[in-house]
Structures are given as C-alpha cells and as structure tokens.
Structure 1
C-alpha cells in the first residue's frame, strides 16, 4: 500500500430507511388487535451507513464510518428518512426453489427533517492516514459541509485512493471542486446510468450492449453537460444489474464494456419481483473488496478495477436475490452470503464478459461494431458450423444473445429490432388506461419469419394475456372483412385478453396502390371502427402490419428510390394513399433479417442467422439426430452447403423444405445420400452451387496430387515429379493438404468453381503470416513422426537442422516456404478453386 496503514473510511449522506409490512390476523377470536391485520415497522440505516456495512461485510474487517447508534432511540426527525412497504416475493422465479424473501412492494418516498438540512454525522475515530476513502454522495447536503468530510480527504498532503459514489453528477458542488483540485488522479467515480438519463443524457436502454456502450462514449465526448467528466482518471458507470462501463483516461481515453451475455440492461429486474434499494452500494462494496485484494497502487489498479467490476455486478445481483431475508420478524440485512464466492445462483465473475468499446466517428455510424466480431477469433463460418453441431449455448458463451421464447438471435441488428419492439409492447401491456391500439410495422422478404418473430416477442412478455389473430389482406374483398376482424379483436378485449392482430400483406393493392391504409387510420388513432352507421371501440390491442410488397420500411416509404423524378411520383401517390398519415400512427417498425444476406453492406452475419435457424430446426424436427451430448449428427459437406449457399429462394421456408424432403426418419446421421434430388433442390437453391459446396472436400482431395505437382514445378522450375522419393512427394502433398486450414487464418475459404478465375496476390504481410504458419505446421508433423533437431539432415537418424522456430530458421528455408505460399493463389486458380474472403465485417 502507498499509505502507512490499510484503513478504509466511509462517509457521506445519512438516511434512515423505514420498512413497513403487514401480517395476517393472529387469531379468529381474541383481542381486537389480534383478529385484524397487523402493521409492523423497522428502521434500518441507509446511504453511507449502509454502504459502510456492505464494505465491512465484503472485506471481512471493520471500516471507519459514522455511527447512528440505536436506530429505535435516535431522534428520527433530525434525519432524512425513506419509507417503503415490503412483502414476500419468490426468491428466484421459476425452478425448484419455492422459497420467498421480502423485497419492496411499494416505495412511499422521502421525508425531510422538521427544519433545516438533514443531519449529518462525523466519522467515528477518523484517521487522516487512511488508505482509502469511500464517499456516498446522494446530493443531500454532505457535498457542501466540509466539517463532515473525512480527514484524509481534507488534510493537506494526504493522498488516499478515493471511491466517489455520485448521485447527481455536476461540477458545481464544493466536494467536486475539492476532489478535482487535490485528489482527481486517485479518484474512482461511480455513477448509476439512470442518474445520467435523469439529467437528459440520451443513452439508449435495453436495446443492445453495443448501442448502449457507443451512446455512452459519444455522449461523454460530445455532450457539453458531461465534459467535466471526460478528463477524469477513472469513471465507472453501472447499467442496471447486468452491466457497467469503465472509462479511464491517462492522456488517452479508453472505455471497456462489462456485460452479462444472456441479459441486457433491466432484464434481471424484470425477472425478479419486488424492488430493493442500495444495490449500487453493493456494487461499490464488491469493487472495494477486489481493490483491497489485488492492490491499489497505480500499476495494480487496472487489474483491481477490472476484477472489481465483475465482483460488483455479481454481488449486486445476489443482493437483489436475497432481499431483506425470508423472515421479516428476524431481518438479516445485509446478508453476508452476498459476498461469498459460490455458484449456488449460477452467478459468478466468470459469467461477466468485457470488451473494448469501439468509438463511433459520429452518432450515425454506431451500427458497424459487433461484439461478436471482437470476442470470436474464428471466422463466421466456423462459428456457424459449431452452433449447428453443438448448440449456441456451448459456442456463444461470451457474446450477447437475445432470447424471446423460442426465438434466439446474436445478430446485433436483429437484437436491436426485436428488443425495441419488446420494450414498446411491454410498456403498452403495462399501461392500464390505453385507449388506442399499439401499431407496429414489420417488413422482410417472404419466408424471413416476420410474424413468427413478433409473435414470439409478444408471447414472451405476456404468454397468458396475448391472443394471436392472423389475417392476409390480399384475401379480403371489402372493408366489411376488416370490420369482422375488429369484432373478433373486441371480443377478446372484453374477455380480458390482448389481441395481437397480424395484418399480412397490408401494403397490397385495393382500389389502387396501398388502398387499405385509409381504412386503418381511425382504428389506429382512436381505437374505433365503423360498421354501417355504428361506431365500436376496439379496446386494448396490438396491430402488427406485415409488409408483402416491400421488404424494408425504407422501401415502403420510398427512401431507397434514387431517381429524383421517380421519387417525386412515388411520394405523390404515397401521400394520396394516406401513407404519411399511416406512418405517423405507427409506434415502431422493424426490418426482419432472414437467412439470406440483406442488401446492407455490413450484413455478414447471415451465416450465423442460418446456423441458429438450422440448430432450432434440428431440435424441433430431428431430435433423434441430436445425441446425448447435444451434438447434431450431420455430414460436414451437407452442413457446409446449407450454411454457404449464396441464397435460399424462399428464405427460411426453403431451409425447412430441404430438411423435410431429406430421408431422415430412421437416419442416424444426415448424410449426403439422404438429401433430396437435384430436381427437388432446384425449387429452393441453385442446385449446381449447392452440389459444389457439398462436394468441396471431395473435389479438393481429388486434386491434392495435381496441386502438389504444380507447386513443386512452380518453385523448382522443372518437371521431374516422378524422380522424387516418396518422402519428398509426401512433403508437397502435406503442404497442399494444410492450405485450407492455413487460409482460414486470413479469413479465406476455398470454393470449387466451374470457370477458371484470375489469381489474387497476397500482401507481404499475408505471405509472412502464412509462411510462418506453414513452417510451424510442418515442424509439428515432423516432431510427431519422431524427427528431432540435428546439425545435419539424416533420414536414418531422423535429424533435421530446420526443426527450429521460425525466428531462428535460416533465410534459405524461409525464402523457400514463402515462395511456396506466394504460389498458392495461382495453383488454386488453375485448378478451378476460388479464394473467397470471409472477413466477419466489411
């Protein structure tokens, strides 16, 4: 430690938390008070005193802090206090654990003092030489009253590590000015993101971790209200119980996102019923524990904070789960189990992932960063193949995954779309006095699963409340058909259900282009529909408008039209069809991405979407082909073709059709021979392309010999293959066999093509990388075959002077290996193999 002792001082604002709860009558007969519900109350310390208790529990030793004494005997009117009602809630929703714990069911608010500012308390036995000072600034007076600040903070020459938990970030308080002037180099600031949002800072919530993280970085760099924070050495922002961002500045700024892969901001609180105060304090206590354990010197601090953020997220989640305990009459709070490292709740530091945040050039360029790209060393085809074979749970442990019932996705674009819709639906369903339907437009190519995705999202929010109705407007003949739909919806509303009405092909023609739009305006705006001379209320309902002629919202609005005259004609017709009025009544829209690549330039994740869909189809339709270890039994050629075929003619329907047409009822593995005939495949894919992907390994194996001869002749400038020994020939054959795996390192794949193509040229850096890999691969093979290093090459003794690392290899052998690598593109092109780039993102 840099200080003379390891003392920790905790101070800040003071609050008394009063908890109320009721119990059922004790007796049927007896005193009057015994036959009625009883109200109970208890007073517990809050704010800085609660934080001190949490830190003491976390580190297993006392800390110096204010002392409130006996809570029941102090003059409560002098202190700020909050009041909340608590009730029993399931400790963990679902599962085998049926126990209950008390959490807050209703928060009544704060009560100030009878006069003046709330009372503050000094630190008992304060120590000016404390190693660490932790401040809980809730903006309730402490930040302006110097006399209550810890000595280590205000004594000249003292240099403690400061953890500043800040509720109302602003640069005007006396405490902030003091910290900036004297301690900012060793101050870690912790802020709850909700406090930023409350100040009008626009950071998206529960959309995607990438979006939230980049919103934060952009706001910190561009929002003048946050400029005073951008120069701080250490900033930690918590995002619910599921994530945090650590911003550090040492001349150069860097931000890291910490997140739970299977949860997004707010998900944990939606699952766990009831509320809790103090979970940010619990996060700070977990952070302090790691700093005490791993060190607080400058060179130790990054590792300590890195571990501490993980520990804090885990502790905060456990704190929420344990609540105020299972017995209100014997409250154990805070619960010491919160800081124990165990896996009883399947919550551990290993579950928390981190990634460096990519800084967007501007606020409109944020959608080009994918955590999947940063956290996955393999190329996307490899990841996709493993998803199909082993399931996404085993493969994607470190990547954000969104789940809505049976729908699962790792594609950031899809995650953001679906979660936006989920948030809209969740708010609408929770609103008790909604007078108009919630209207959402969904677009996608035929077979992309438009209605399926939205239905799964809705069912995941309220499975017992949602009732789906599906109608195709291309089959309607008159507005009377529409009135019948609204009558059905009204009936479900009267039963207490929320009808989710999918209007398929709503953009189909009727009495002209987009003729149905005008008939939806009144129901969307007022929640009313007309039948003859009578107007009926629809009630609470969700309208989902699924496009039939437009595959994207932008196409529906004409934004994709580039010709000015054509766009002018479109907008004139769009306006006359009431298109703008229709759009103004929508509350959300989403473009659904199917298994085919979209036109978006960065859509390289289609292969992952295919893999997720294919794995889902395996589990639903072919469970007998998934073994006890969860591994799908499928031939590599079949899997390769299904994942890599450029386009399915009918999107997901085609993928499912190929599976249905294959002879798999009694199969033990999906072999190539079980696939449908070429004539049947032609209905859904380009059958020739499909076959070439299918037979890729066979095609390559058949040409190993000719490729080996070709590379020998290119580097030797002669044709004497037949004179080589078998060992020499095998050297070239093995060299050729390793080419596909080597090219994967540079994100290249080899595809068999009919036509002869031009050879690409490797860069100098690519040649060096591939040459080094080739030598290391050869080195490993030779060692496995019993060869060892020797000053002289000897076939009998199996010694070879080239059995050394690449760095110490002689220049002659390096040049030979590099020459072979440089010739790969040419010999592959001559053999009708195309090198296809597999970079995850363009």
Structure 2
C-alpha cells in the first residue's frame, strides 16, 4: 500500500541520546590503548526526533518534522541530553538461544542546557494541510511554546487526526487547553500506564489483566485528577509491552482491553535482559500505521485505532528484542524490520487479544468478571475437555494464563494471589539490610497443593538461591522442636541461601488452640529466636505458614461466622491466642482452591482447574500417552468422569491416586478398562457417580469430526459448479489431504468462540433446532474473526504470504489482513460463516443469545 501521498507532521520535545559502552581489548600486542578496555560513544536521536524516524518506517508516508542533520556537530550546550550505558544482553529468555544484543544496562540521567530551556526546533517544510499530526510531549517546554507547534494544529479551519503522546498527565498545559478547545474529537491521547501511576493514579500492576482493567475504569470514572482525560474522545494507555486499554468517549463511554494471553504487564522480558528507551514511541508509530491503513480503507477512526494498537504492541515487542543490534556501529537503528511481518517472527498481531471491560461493577462481585468466560464458550466443560486432550496452550490461546515454573493457572483469584506473593518475594530478595523474614500464609483443604504452588513461585524467581525447608508443627512435641527448626533455618541462611520455610499446620493446637502463634511472633517481627538466655538472629528467610485446620484466610480469622454470639466467642479466643498479632505480621496470603468446587454460585472455574491439573499429571506421569501433536490418547468417558465427578475426597491427591492406580504402564491409550476397581475408586470419589459419568453424552469437542465433515460437504455442494475453485478443496472428505481436514476441524472447534463475538452461545439440545440467520453486521464480524483466526493458524503451521498458492512452498495470497483481502476471497469466508447455523443444528446444537451468570456481567 503506497502511503507517500499521506502527509504526517511529527513534532515535540527534542533530546539527543548519548550511548556509552565498553568492549574487550582489541589485542594484546598492539598499541597500549588497544590492550585495554575500549570505551565507545554514539549519539542517537531521541524523543520527537526518534518518533519521526519510527513513524516514517511504520507508515511509509511523507513525514515532516524537525531535523538535526549531524548529531555530532549539534551543540551539547543547547539541547537536552540523555546518557545511558549499554551492555550485551540475551536476545530472548530462551536459555538455548545464546545470541546477545546491546540494550540499556543503566540510565545515567539527563544533562540540561547550559542556560534557559532545552532548545526546540521548527518543522522542516511544515504543511497546514497535514492529514495526521503526531506530538511528543515529554513536558520539556514544547507544550508551552506555541511557535514550534505544527501549522495544522494552530489553524482554526483544519481538523487533522492528532496523536498526542503525553508524558505528564496534566490538564492545565497550554497545549492541552488548545487541543481540548479546538481538536478534542480527533485527538488520540497516548499515555503510558506507569506515567499515570507516577502521578498517584492507583492502578494495580502485574496482578491480572482483569484487575488492571477494572482499576483503570474505576479511576477514569472517579478520580478527579483524571477528569480532563475522561473527556477525551480517544484515550490509549499502554501497560508495559504486553497490553493496552482503549477508552472511547463518543456517544457513550466504552473501554477495551488488548493483551497478550501468555504474558502479564512487564512479564515478556526479564530484568536480566536490560532496558530500552523509546518503547512508547514505537507503540505510537505502530498506532499511526493502523490509522494510516484505516484512512486508506475509509474505516471509522475507532476501527483504525483497533488495528493500530495491535500493530503497536507487536512493534514494541520487536523493538525491544532487536535492541541496538549485535554491533551498534553497523546496526541500523531504528530497524525497519520491527514493522515488517517476517516468516520466523515470535509474535504476530493475531496473538493480541481484546475484550470489552465492564463499565461498572457490583461491589459484591468485583472479582467475578474473568476474561476466560468472555473469550470462550460459557460451556466451560468443553474448554476443560480440550485442555486435557490437546494441552493448555492449544486450548487456551486467547485466555490470560499465569505460569510460575510448573504451576499454571487461569483462575483470576489464584493469579492475583500468586503474583502478589511473587512481587513480595522479588522485592524481599533484592532488598538489602533486611532484618526480619518475609511472612506469608497459605490456606487450602488438605491435598489442594498448598506447598506446590508457593514452591513453584519461589523457584521461578531464584531457583539457585532459595532452598526449601519443611516443618510440620502438628508433629512437634515441645518448644525445643521449634528452636531446633529455627537453628536449621539459621544455618541455611549463613550459607548464603534464602530459606523457604514451610510451617505446615501452624494453626494446630499446642498448649491450647492456636498455641504455636505466640512463639512465632518474635521471629516474624524481629528476625530472632530465643534459646534459654541466648538470642539468635535468623537472617534472611521466607516463612510460609500453611494452614491445617482452616481452608481459607477468612475462616482462620473467623470472618465467615454468621452467628453474632459465636463470632464474639471466636474473636475472644483468637485474641487470646495472639491471632491478630500474627495476622499483622503477615505480608500476604494465598487461598489455594484445588480441584473441588468451593462455591456453587461463584466458583465456575473448578472444572478448568481440574483439567489443568489432570493435563499436568498426564504429562509428568504417563508422557507415553501423548502423541507428537500433543494429543492425549484417552477415552472420552474417562475424561468426562475425571472432570465431572462432584468431589474428590482428598483433592489433588485423589486425582493423582486414580491415575497411579490405573494400569497404564504398557498402555497405548487410557481406556475405561484400565481404571482401578470400584472398591479402589471409593477411596477417592463417589464411585457410583464416577461410573455414571463414564457413560454420559459427549461434549461438543467430541463432535468436532462430524461438524468438520458436515462443513466440508456443505462447502462442496455450494461450490460444485464453481469453475474457479481449487479442485483439491472439493474432493470427498476421505480423499482430502490431512492439512485440509485439520483446517475444517479447526474451524469447527472455534465456532463457539466466534459466536461469542456477536453475543451468541452454543448449547446442546435433544431435538434438532431451527437454524437461525445472521444479520449482515453479525456476518461481517464473524467473517473478520474467522479470517483472522485462519491466518494465525496457517502462519503457525508454516505458511506465509505469496503471490501464488503453492502447497509445497506453503505460500498463499490470502494470508493478508481482512481489509486488503480480495472481494472474491471475502465472499468465500462469508459463504462459509453463513452455513454454521445449519451445520450446528444438524448436530443438535442450538445458537442462542448469551446468558449472563450474574447481574454485573450484563453491563459487559
């Protein structure tokens, strides 16, 4: 697409970035200076100068901006300078990849001008008819110097699209007041989430995407300091390199979250991989690319922004990965490749998911919104079945998943708790002069995995530094046992390790109810323990108190007691046992939910937890049942019974026991005949209910094959007289290539997800229902979704764009965004989507309007 006729003006604050790095001696025989470490220095464009370069690369448009022809000759006494030390860092977190690139190891700070304000520059060949104006306001005087503003901004009769990259959320600047008065409808404000937080806006970080999204909505609706931003027609807040929120305020307000499912804010790259400046600028350049593309196709501005946010997230990820290259002096910075889709890219814009954020929340149900339900069929059993059969990553491509070592979870409550604990541990380990242990409590029913979860979180932080110790207080006979335990902790700390100390069943009785608490207070508070007349320091340690009699923190504190007299009695005993003092010393807690349902009304994700646990057990204990495609060879009835049995008597231990008691050592598939006897099952589940579930009707997933065949046969009928159709596509099912069969299966599998886009659900019924007809708007939404999904599927299986379709080279001209797809190709997608209702009805699946599980979801 040729954008050279599009004029974009880029201006703003000016900065020159001074980069310093050290290399090893050139040789040991040359001149003296060559035998020592060599110090290098290079000057690079910063702020508006860098942004203009990035926008030029991303859009290919005509860019008008300030310029410094020769940075080396620019007077350092006039311009603002930023200095950074560069180092070689791993290009990725993959330990198998040894490649390294230069990134920022340390920002050294700014050097201001010798006098007055930092120098600004005029726009070369400024044009008041510019289509787009992009402003980089770093709060370094540009926002108050009107003489340097673009002509299109100052002309009262011009209305360009304005991208306003704002560093300081301040509604009183001269520039903002001008934009608010003359250009607010077409102004797109971009402000980084960390910049909002730095001004006291309380938005949680790295807990869960749901929590971040809800915090933002609350702040934009209620925080008076953000009232000027709430008036924006378009506001975009990037959160790290992994997500962004788009707040739209036109006829009504709407917020949409964009995110990478397998990462949370700040999770893509480790601290050991360095830093980069210009990340938000790169995001803005990607955003500009989407807007230019949208203008070319006459899209609504909000549609263009949608594309641009995806482009921006992908570009920022690639920009960080590229860094300054392996050789700074030879590497082109910024590099054009960050805006080009490559054959071996680690990220595509199809990976970026989005979901509408509820605009208001029931205060009693703040945590009941979870993306999993919005992005997938509400029949969670189908998703659970897919997780077991095909693995977590294949089944949950579009859902936020948290991973800590071997622990994976999609439950929002667990994600937020574990990430809180991880943040506490990271801060504690990196801090110096710590005098007391970090104290955390973990609650859950026996067998729910209390020890496993926290251990994996700790191992994901510093596996070589943290060493685990286990003590069960219910087995201690006297106080000397506890003192002996503290000595072991101290010894490990003196070795330079950080002990991860599990005090199991800390709430057990000793000299009365909760008797151990009073002996734990001094070690928790002061980091010392007493032995006779001697006082010993414990050193750096992480104390994990695992409850044995209480399954939740609320239960431990008596907050779930409804009877007033009972609660008074409990609180009196709790205070006497030093319960409040113990709680005040805790810095965090986790309620482990386990595979059993904790609440029939609110806990709908238990079946997903079961599925993830079962898949993990299969991968660890019977990997020979998993084929090369990651598919588990297991009877459908066995999966249903394991997922749907009402209760496991000993939580995860029972699920593990059933697998271990099954005769699978030499099995090629887990058949029903391999299950343990009825008497053995009785130890862990209600055996009657378990056996009944073995015989239940199949899930939607089990009918994938029939749906795929029906889709293909219908497609054959519709195209039997089409002379332009590829004959390979209309062969009978049994003659189709496996690649085309899988394409139909994949389409059938994702129909429920597609229908959620237009607020429909798929439900199984006894009799064949009447097939509905989609509206034109619904068809368009479904077609765009299906084409995007198909493109991602093809790319992940090795296909790439090519002018001609070639099955051997795996090239396809249809691997392009929807907006530039040829009309005849679009019609094929429409044709395919239209037949879904009939195909589903033939398999006794009804399409009906989505039902909400609770009132607060009706606002979504």
Is 1:444 aligned with 2:444? Answer: yes
Question: Which range moves more in the overlay, 159-168 or 333-342?
Answer: 333-342
Contact 1:605 1:840 in 2 (8 A): no
| 1:792 corresponds to | none
Alignment check: 8 A CA contact 1:5 1:129 kept: no
Residue 766 of structure 1: CA displacement?
Answer: 12
- Asked whether the equivalents of residues 64 and 126 of structure 1 are also in contact (C-alpha less than 8 Å), the reply is yes
Indicate the residue corresponding to 1:22 in structure 2.
22
User: Contact 2:7 / 2:61 at 8 angstroms: preserved in 1?
Assistant: no
Return the alpha-carbon distance in structure 2 between the equivalents of residues 641 and 768 of structure 1: 20
User: How far does the alpha carbon of each residue in 1:432-458 deviate from its partner, in whole angstroms, 9 at most, with x for none?
Assistant: 322211110000011100010000010
Aligned counterparts of 2:551 and 2:766: Cα–Cα separation in 1: 46
Q: CA deviation at 1:30?
A: 5.4
Q: Hey, what's the Cα distance between the residues in 1 that align with 2:413 and 2:762?
A: 35
Alignment of 1:385-396 (within 5 A): 385-396=385-396
Equivalent residue runs for 1:435-474 within 5 Å: 435-474=435-474
Residues 65, 237 of structure 1: alpha-carbon distance in 2 compared, 3 angstrom cutoff: same
How many angstroms does 1:297 deviate by?
A: 8.5
Any residues of structure 2 matched to 1:141-152 within 5 Å, and which? Answer: 141-152=141-152
Q: State the partner residue of 1:498.
A: 498
1:221 maps to: 221
Q: 1:440 to 1:155 in 2, by over 3 A?
A: same
Give the Cα separation in 2 of the matches to 1:513 and 1:305.
Answer: 60
Q: Is the 8 A contact 1:26 1:34 kept in 2?
A: yes
Describe the SS at the equivalent of 1:467.
strand
* Mean Cα deviation higher: 394-403 or 23-32: 23-32
Q: Distance in 1 between matches of 2:364 and 2:126?
A: 51
* Matched ranges for 1:80-479 at <5 A: 80-270=80-270, 273-295=273-295, 299-361=299-361, 365-377=365-377, 379-479=379-479
Pick from 769, 788, 813: which aligns with 1:774?
769
Structure ID, larger Rg = 1
Q: Is the 8 A contact 1:22 1:38 kept in 2?
A: yes
Q: What is the CA-CA distance between 1:313 and the residue it aligns to?
A: 0.5
Query: 1:644 offset after TM fit, Å?
Result: 0.8
Q: Is the partner of 1:216 in helix, strand or coil?
A: helix
Give distance in 2, aligned partners of 1:462 and 1:559.
Answer: 35
Instruction: Name the stretch that deviates more: 225-234 or 296-305.
Output: 296-305
After superposition, the Cα gap between the structure-2 partners of 1:403 and 1:179, relative to the gap in structure 1 and judged at 3 Å, is same
Q: What's the offset of the Cα at 1:329? A: 3.6
CA RMSD in angstroms, aligned pairs only:
2.8
How far apart are 1:300 and its partner, in Å? 2.7
How far residue 770 of structure 1 moved from its aligned partner, in angstroms, is 6.3
- Tell me, yes or no, if the aligned pair for 1:93 and 1:271 is still in contact at 8 Å: no
Q: CA deviation at 1:331?
A: 4.4
Give the structure 1 partner of residue 667 of structure 2: 667
Deviation (angstroms), 1:415: 1.1
| Alpha-carbon separation, structure 2, partners of 1:766 and 1:344 | 36
**Could you tell me how far 1:26 is from its partner in structure 2?**
3.4
Query: Does the 8 A contact of 1:648 with 1:685 survive in 2?
Result: yes
Maintained 8 Å contact 1:161/1:296: no
Distance 1:76 1:838, change over 3 A: closer
Change (3 A) 1:628 1:8: same
Using structure 1 for the length normalisation, give the TM-score. 0.83
- Kindly report which structure 2 residues correspond to 1:2-81, keeping only aligned pairs within 5 A, or say none: 6-28=6-28, 31-81=31-81
Bigger mean CA offset, 346-355 vs 57-66: 57-66
SS in 2 for 1:529: strand
Deviation at 1:697, TM superposition (A): 4.5
Q: CA offsets per residue over residues 220-268 of structure 1, 9 Å max, x none?
A: 0111111111121111100000000111111211111100000000102
1:670-689 counterparts in 2 under 5 A? Answer: 670-689=670-689
* Conserved? CA contact 1:80–1:118, under 8 Å: yes
Which residue of 1 is the match for residue 549 of structure 2?
549
- Residue 641 of structure 2 corresponds to residue 637 of structure 1: no
Alpha-carbon contact 1:505-1:549 (below 8 Å) kept: yes
Q: Which moved more, 1:61-70 or 1:190-199?
A: 61-70
In 1, Cα distance between equivalents of 2:324 and 2:636: 54
C-alpha distance in structure 2 between counterparts of 1:49 and 1:331, whole Å? 18
Q: CA, structure 1 residues 311+343, in 2 after alignment: closer, same or farther (shift >3 Å)?
A: farther
Structure 1 residues 512 and 152: CA distance shift in structure 2, 3 A:
same
Query: Partner of 1:105: helix, strand, or coil?
Result: strand
Structure 1 residue 769 displacement after superposition: 11
1:508 is matched with 508
- Are the equivalent residues in 1 in contact too, given 2:5–2:61 (CA < 8 A)? no
Match of 2:576 in 1: 576
Determine helix, strand or coil for the equivalent of 2:617: helix
Counterpart for residue 586 of structure 1: 586
Aligned match of 1:518: 518
Q: Residues 769, 694 of structure 1: CA spacing in aligned structure 2 closer, same or farther, 3 A cutoff?
A: closer
CA displacement at 1:365 relative to structure 2: 3.6
- Structure 2: distance between partners of 1:318 and 1:289: 15
Distance 2:297 2:585 in 1: 57
Shift of 1:360: 3.1
Aligned-residue offset at 1:31: 4.6
Tell whether the 8 Å contact from 1:258 to 1:355 is kept in structure 2 after alignment: yes
Deviations 1:746-792 (A, max 9, x none): xxxxxxxxxxxxxxxxxxx9999969952449xxxxxxxxxxxxxxx
For 2:72, what is the secondary structure of its paired residue? coil
Conserved? CA contact 2:220–2:229, under 8 Å: yes
Residues 702-741 of structure 1 aligned to structure 2 (within 5 Å): none
Measure, in 1, the Cα distance between the counterparts of 2:96 and 2:23.
Answer: 26
Q: Return the alpha-carbon distance in structure 2 between the equivalents of residues 600 and 466 of structure 1.
A: 38
Give the C-alpha shift of residue 311 in structure 1: 0.7
Residue 461 of structure 1: how far off its partner (Å): 0.9
Q: Which runs of 4+ in 1 moved over 4 A?
A: 29-32, 296-299, 765-773, 837-842
Tell me, in whole angstroms, the C-alpha distance in 2 between the residues paired with 1:141 and 1:192: 19
SS of structure 2 residue aligned to 1:57: helix
Cα distance in structure 2, aligned partners of 1:305 and 1:632: 41
In the TM superposition, residue 296 of structure 1 has moved relative to its aligned partner by 7.0
Q: Alignment partner of 1:228: what SS? A: helix
Change (3 A) 1:839 1:281: closer
Are the counterparts in 1 of residues 5 and 62 from structure 2 also a CA contact under 8 Å? no
Give 3-state SS (helix, strand or coil) of 2:270's partner: helix
1:324 Cα shift? 1.0
- Decide whether aligned partners of structure 1 residues 772 and 666 sit closer, same or farther in structure 2, where only a CA change above 3 A counts: closer
Secondary structure of the corresponding residue to residue 254 of structure 2 = strand
How many angstroms apart in 2 are the aligned matches of 1:426 and 1:519? Answer: 27
Q: Over residues 641-660 of structure 1, what are the superposed CA-to-partner deviations in whole Å (9 max), with x where a residue is unaligned?
A: 11111111100011111111
The change in CA–CA distance for 1:687 and 1:362 in structure 2 (over 3 A counts) is: closer
- Superposition deviation, residue 599 in structure 1: 2.9
- 1:484-509 CA distance string (max 9 Å, x none): 22221222222221110011000001
Equivalent pair of 2:4/2:61 in contact (CA under 8 Å): no
| SS at 1:612 equivalent | helix
Q: What are the ranges of 5 or more consecutive residues in structure 2 without an aligned counterpart?
A: 699-747, 753-759, 773-833, 856-860
Specify every segment of 5 or more residues in structure 1 that has no aligned partner in the other structure, as ranges.
699-740, 746-764, 778-804, 810-816, 825-836
